[in-house]
Amino acid sequence: MGKIKNKLKSIGKRVIIDFYRFLDNSGVLKIYEKILEEAIDKDNLPKHVAIIMDGNRRAAEIYGKDRYYGHYLGAEKVREVLRWARDLGINVVTLYAFSTENFRRPKEEVDKLMELFEKKFYEIADDEEIHRYEVRVRAIGRINLLPKNVQKAIKYAEERTKNYNKFFVNIAIAYGGQQEIIDAVKKIAEKVKRGEIEPEDIDKELIDKHLYTANLPFPNPDLIIRTSGEERISNFLIWQSSYSELYFCDIYWPLFRRVDFLRAVRDYQRRQRRFGK
Protein backbone atom coordinates (compact mmCIF):
# COMPACT_ATOMS: atom_id res chain seq x y z
CA MET A 1 0.00 0.00 0.00
CA GLY A 2 2.79 2.39 1.00
CA LYS A 3 4.55 1.67 -2.27
CA ILE A 4 1.48 2.54 -4.35
CA LYS A 5 1.00 5.71 -2.34
CA ASN A 6 4.62 6.71 -2.98
CA LYS A 7 4.29 5.95 -6.67
CA LEU A 8 1.16 8.12 -6.88
CA LYS A 9 2.95 10.89 -5.00
CA SER A 10 5.86 10.75 -7.40
CA ILE A 11 3.54 10.77 -10.43
CA GLY A 12 1.78 13.79 -8.91
CA LYS A 13 5.09 15.61 -8.57
CA ARG A 14 6.09 14.72 -12.11
CA VAL A 15 2.84 16.22 -13.37
CA ILE A 16 3.77 19.44 -11.57
CA ILE A 17 7.24 19.41 -13.14
CA ASP A 18 5.73 18.82 -16.59
CA PHE A 19 3.35 21.68 -15.97
CA TYR A 20 6.27 23.95 -15.02
CA ARG A 21 8.05 22.92 -18.17
CA PHE A 22 4.92 23.62 -20.20
CA LEU A 23 4.72 27.07 -18.61
CA ASP A 24 8.38 27.67 -19.42
CA ASN A 25 7.97 26.73 -23.04
CA SER A 26 4.70 28.54 -23.51
CA GLY A 27 6.26 31.90 -22.71
CA VAL A 28 3.76 32.55 -19.92
CA LEU A 29 6.58 32.72 -17.40
CA LYS A 30 8.43 35.27 -19.51
CA ILE A 31 5.39 37.52 -19.36
CA TYR A 32 5.10 36.99 -15.61
CA GLU A 33 8.81 37.80 -15.23
CA LYS A 34 8.23 41.08 -17.07
CA ILE A 35 5.27 41.95 -14.84
CA LEU A 36 7.33 41.27 -11.73
CA GLU A 37 10.29 43.24 -13.05
CA GLU A 38 8.01 46.21 -13.64
CA ALA A 39 6.60 45.89 -10.13
CA ILE A 40 10.02 45.91 -8.46
CA ASP A 41 11.29 49.26 -7.24
CA LYS A 42 14.95 49.49 -8.24
CA ASP A 43 15.63 52.08 -5.55
CA ASN A 44 14.48 49.85 -2.74
CA LEU A 45 16.28 46.60 -3.39
CA PRO A 46 17.57 44.37 -0.61
CA LYS A 47 21.29 45.06 -0.47
CA HIS A 48 22.20 41.64 0.81
CA VAL A 49 20.21 38.55 -0.12
CA ALA A 50 20.99 35.20 1.51
CA ILE A 51 19.61 31.90 0.26
CA ILE A 52 19.17 28.55 1.99
CA MET A 53 19.40 26.30 -1.05
CA ASP A 54 17.31 23.37 0.15
CA GLY A 55 15.56 20.45 -1.55
CA ASN A 56 18.23 18.90 -3.76
CA ARG A 57 17.48 15.32 -2.79
CA ARG A 58 13.73 15.73 -3.05
CA ALA A 59 14.14 17.22 -6.53
CA ALA A 60 16.19 14.19 -7.56
CA GLU A 61 13.45 11.94 -6.26
CA ILE A 62 10.95 13.53 -8.61
CA TYR A 63 13.16 12.65 -11.54
CA GLY A 64 13.62 9.13 -10.18
CA LYS A 65 17.37 9.81 -9.88
CA ASP A 66 19.80 9.42 -6.98
CA ARG A 67 20.63 12.20 -4.53
CA TYR A 68 23.90 13.09 -6.26
CA TYR A 69 21.99 14.12 -9.33
CA GLY A 70 19.99 16.49 -7.12
CA HIS A 71 23.18 18.01 -5.73
CA TYR A 72 24.61 18.33 -9.22
CA LEU A 73 21.49 20.19 -10.41
CA GLY A 74 21.56 22.35 -7.29
CA ALA A 75 25.16 23.39 -7.96
CA GLU A 76 24.31 24.18 -11.58
CA LYS A 77 21.55 26.53 -10.42
CA VAL A 78 23.99 28.81 -8.57
CA ARG A 79 25.41 30.54 -11.64
CA GLU A 80 21.93 31.41 -12.90
CA VAL A 81 20.78 32.83 -9.58
CA LEU A 82 23.91 34.96 -9.22
CA ARG A 83 23.17 36.41 -12.64
CA TRP A 84 19.56 37.24 -11.70
CA ALA A 85 20.72 38.99 -8.55
CA ARG A 86 23.44 40.92 -10.34
CA ASP A 87 21.15 41.98 -13.20
CA LEU A 88 18.70 43.35 -10.70
CA GLY A 89 21.43 45.29 -8.87
CA ILE A 90 21.81 43.26 -5.70
CA ASN A 91 25.43 43.53 -4.59
CA VAL A 92 25.82 40.97 -1.85
CA VAL A 93 24.63 37.37 -2.07
CA THR A 94 25.31 34.66 0.51
CA LEU A 95 24.51 31.06 -0.36
CA TYR A 96 24.18 28.29 2.19
CA ALA A 97 25.82 25.30 0.55
CA PHE A 98 26.81 22.99 3.39
CA SER A 99 26.23 23.23 7.12
CA THR A 100 28.42 21.94 9.94
CA GLU A 101 25.54 19.53 10.65
CA ASN A 102 25.62 18.23 7.07
CA PHE A 103 28.88 16.42 7.97
CA ARG A 104 26.59 13.94 9.72
CA ARG A 105 25.27 12.70 6.38
CA PRO A 106 26.47 9.36 4.96
CA LYS A 107 30.17 9.48 4.08
CA GLU A 108 29.51 8.73 0.44
CA GLU A 109 27.17 11.71 0.12
CA VAL A 110 29.58 14.04 1.92
CA ASP A 111 32.45 12.86 -0.32
CA LYS A 112 30.42 13.47 -3.46
CA LEU A 113 29.42 16.93 -2.26
CA MET A 114 33.07 17.75 -1.54
CA GLU A 115 34.03 16.69 -5.08
CA LEU A 116 31.31 18.96 -6.39
CA PHE A 117 32.44 21.90 -4.24
CA GLU A 118 36.03 21.56 -5.39
CA LYS A 119 34.98 21.58 -9.03
CA LYS A 120 32.59 24.49 -8.55
CA PHE A 121 35.11 26.74 -6.77
CA TYR A 122 37.55 26.32 -9.66
CA GLU A 123 34.76 26.93 -12.14
CA ILE A 124 33.61 30.09 -10.37
CA ALA A 125 37.21 31.34 -10.08
CA ASP A 126 37.72 31.01 -13.83
CA ASP A 127 34.25 32.15 -14.83
CA GLU A 128 34.45 34.97 -17.33
CA GLU A 129 31.40 36.73 -15.85
CA ILE A 130 32.91 36.77 -12.37
CA HIS A 131 35.83 38.77 -13.76
CA ARG A 132 33.80 40.91 -16.11
CA TYR A 133 31.55 42.07 -13.27
CA GLU A 134 34.32 42.09 -10.65
CA VAL A 135 32.72 39.74 -8.20
CA ARG A 136 34.57 38.98 -5.01
CA VAL A 137 34.12 35.34 -4.05
CA ARG A 138 34.59 34.14 -0.50
CA ALA A 139 33.84 31.07 1.55
CA ILE A 140 32.53 31.47 5.09
CA GLY A 141 32.53 28.71 7.66
CA ARG A 142 34.94 26.39 9.41
CA ILE A 143 37.00 25.99 6.26
CA ASN A 144 39.64 23.97 8.14
CA LEU A 145 37.11 21.12 8.49
CA LEU A 146 36.99 20.69 4.71
CA PRO A 147 39.27 18.31 2.81
CA LYS A 148 42.56 19.88 1.70
CA ASN A 149 41.66 19.80 -2.00
CA VAL A 150 38.48 21.81 -1.32
CA GLN A 151 40.43 24.29 0.80
CA LYS A 152 42.86 24.70 -2.07
CA ALA A 153 40.04 25.39 -4.54
CA ILE A 154 38.56 27.96 -2.16
CA LYS A 155 41.92 29.68 -1.77
CA TYR A 156 42.29 29.80 -5.54
CA ALA A 157 38.85 31.43 -5.98
CA GLU A 158 39.45 33.89 -3.15
CA GLU A 159 42.91 34.84 -4.42
CA ARG A 160 41.76 35.36 -7.99
CA THR A 161 38.95 37.70 -6.93
CA LYS A 162 40.46 39.39 -3.88
CA ASN A 163 40.80 42.81 -5.52
CA TYR A 164 37.20 43.05 -6.67
CA ASN A 165 34.56 44.98 -4.77
CA LYS A 166 31.59 45.56 -7.08
CA PHE A 167 29.71 42.41 -6.11
CA PHE A 168 30.21 39.98 -3.24
CA VAL A 169 29.36 36.31 -3.27
CA ASN A 170 29.79 34.34 -0.07
CA ILE A 171 29.49 30.62 -0.03
CA ALA A 172 28.60 29.33 3.44
CA ILE A 173 30.30 25.95 3.57
CA ALA A 174 31.05 23.89 6.68
CA TYR A 175 29.10 26.79 8.11
CA GLY A 176 27.12 26.94 11.34
CA GLY A 177 25.78 30.13 12.91
CA GLN A 178 26.34 28.87 16.44
CA GLN A 179 29.88 27.79 15.52
CA GLU A 180 30.52 31.22 14.01
CA ILE A 181 29.55 32.85 17.31
CA ILE A 182 31.71 30.37 19.25
CA ASP A 183 34.68 31.22 17.00
CA ALA A 184 34.10 34.94 17.52
CA VAL A 185 33.85 34.54 21.30
CA LYS A 186 37.11 32.56 21.35
CA LYS A 187 38.96 35.27 19.42
CA ILE A 188 37.58 37.94 21.75
CA ALA A 189 38.47 35.88 24.85
CA GLU A 190 42.05 35.56 23.55
CA LYS A 191 42.25 39.34 23.24
CA VAL A 192 40.96 39.79 26.76
CA LYS A 193 43.52 37.26 28.00
CA ARG A 194 46.32 39.14 26.27
CA GLY A 195 45.09 42.33 27.89
CA GLU A 196 44.28 43.96 24.53
CA ILE A 197 40.67 44.62 25.51
CA GLU A 198 38.60 44.68 28.69
CA PRO A 199 35.44 42.58 29.18
CA GLU A 200 33.53 45.90 29.33
CA ASP A 201 34.58 46.64 25.76
CA ILE A 202 32.50 43.71 24.47
CA ASP A 203 29.49 45.06 22.63
CA LYS A 204 27.47 44.31 19.51
CA GLU A 205 29.94 46.08 17.21
CA LEU A 206 32.87 44.11 18.61
CA ILE A 207 31.07 40.82 18.04
CA ASP A 208 30.14 41.95 14.50
CA LYS A 209 33.82 42.59 13.84
CA HIS A 210 34.77 39.03 14.78
CA LEU A 211 32.21 37.24 12.63
CA TYR A 212 32.99 35.69 9.21
CA THR A 213 30.90 38.47 7.64
CA ALA A 214 32.94 41.28 9.20
CA ASN A 215 34.44 42.62 5.98
CA LEU A 216 31.29 42.76 3.90
CA PRO A 217 29.77 46.11 2.93
CA PHE A 218 26.37 44.84 4.20
CA PRO A 219 26.99 42.00 6.66
CA ASN A 220 23.37 41.51 7.68
CA PRO A 221 21.05 40.04 5.04
CA ASP A 222 17.98 42.15 4.33
CA LEU A 223 16.23 39.16 2.82
CA ILE A 224 16.69 35.44 3.44
CA ILE A 225 15.06 33.04 1.00
CA ARG A 226 14.61 29.35 1.78
CA THR A 227 13.41 26.94 -0.87
CA SER A 228 11.78 23.51 -0.48
CA GLY A 229 8.91 24.41 1.82
CA GLU A 230 10.84 24.03 5.08
CA GLU A 231 10.36 27.05 7.28
CA ARG A 232 13.37 27.20 9.56
CA ILE A 233 16.78 28.81 9.70
CA SER A 234 18.83 25.62 10.25
CA ASN A 235 21.76 27.40 11.92
CA PHE A 236 22.22 29.94 9.12
CA LEU A 237 23.49 33.47 9.93
CA ILE A 238 21.69 33.41 13.26
CA TRP A 239 23.37 36.57 14.56
CA GLN A 240 23.13 38.50 11.31
CA SER A 241 19.49 37.60 10.62
CA SER A 242 18.01 39.24 13.70
CA TYR A 243 16.14 41.75 11.52
CA SER A 244 16.14 39.98 8.17
CA GLU A 245 12.91 39.51 6.26
CA LEU A 246 12.29 35.79 5.72
CA TYR A 247 10.78 34.39 2.53
CA PHE A 248 9.88 30.74 2.17
CA CYS A 249 8.84 29.09 -1.06
CA ASP A 250 7.81 25.52 -1.81
CA ILE A 251 9.91 24.94 -4.90
CA TYR A 252 12.96 22.67 -4.55
CA TRP A 253 16.26 24.46 -5.08
CA PRO A 254 17.24 22.82 -8.40
CA LEU A 255 13.88 23.93 -9.84
CA PHE A 256 14.07 27.51 -8.51
CA ARG A 257 13.08 29.91 -11.30
CA ARG A 258 13.66 33.58 -11.97
CA VAL A 259 9.97 34.27 -11.22
CA ASP A 260 10.46 32.74 -7.75
CA PHE A 261 13.43 35.02 -7.16
CA LEU A 262 11.62 38.11 -8.39
CA ARG A 263 8.56 37.26 -6.31
CA ALA A 264 10.74 37.05 -3.21
CA VAL A 265 12.12 40.52 -3.91
CA ARG A 266 8.68 41.96 -4.66
CA ASP A 267 7.30 40.39 -1.49
CA TYR A 268 10.19 41.88 0.47
CA GLN A 269 9.37 45.32 -0.90
CA ARG A 270 5.74 45.00 0.14
CA ARG A 271 6.70 44.49 3.73
CA GLN A 272 7.29 47.34 6.09
CA ARG A 273 10.56 46.95 7.90
CA ARG A 274 10.49 48.32 11.40
CA PHE A 275 13.68 47.42 13.26
CA GLY A 276 11.76 47.75 16.51
CA LYS A 277 10.67 51.31 15.74
Which residues form the interface with ligand IPE (CB under 6 A)? 52-58, 74, 96-99, 102, 113, 228, 230, 232, 234
Which one of the listed residues 66, 102, 235, 267 is annotated catalytic?
102
Quote the least distance from Cβ 96 to ligand IPE, whole Å.
Answer: 4
58 binds, among Mg ion, ligand IPE, none (CB under 5 to 8 A by kind): ligand IPE
Q: How far is the CB of 83 from ligand IPE (least distance, A)?
A: 20
Dmax over Cα atoms in the chain, in whole Å?
Answer: 68
Asked if 245 interacts with Mg ion (CB under 5 A), we say no
Between the alpha carbon of residue 151 and those of residues 46, 144, 158, the distances in Å are 30, 7, 10
Q: Which is nearer to ligand IPE, 58 or 210 (CB)?
A: 58
The interface partner of residue 56, options being Mg ion, ligand IPE, none and the CB cut-off 5 to 8 Å by kind, is ligand IPE
Q: Edge-to-edge strand order for the sheet containing 223-226?
A: 135-140, 167-175, 92-99, 48-52, 223-226, 245-248
Q: CA 94, CA 78: separation in Å to the nearest integer?
A: 11
18 is catalytic: no
Q: Which of 24, 25, 54, 170 is catalytic?
A: 54
Select from 51, 52, 53, 54 the one that contacts Mg ion (CB under 5 A).
54
Please report how many Cα atoms fall inside a 13 Å half-sphere around the Cα of residue 197, on the Cβ side: 14
Alpha-carbon dihedral sign for residues 254, 258, 259, 260: positive
Active-site annotation holds for 102: yes
Q: From the list ligand IPE, Mg ion, none, which binds 153 (C-beta under 5 to 8 Å, kind-based)?
A: none
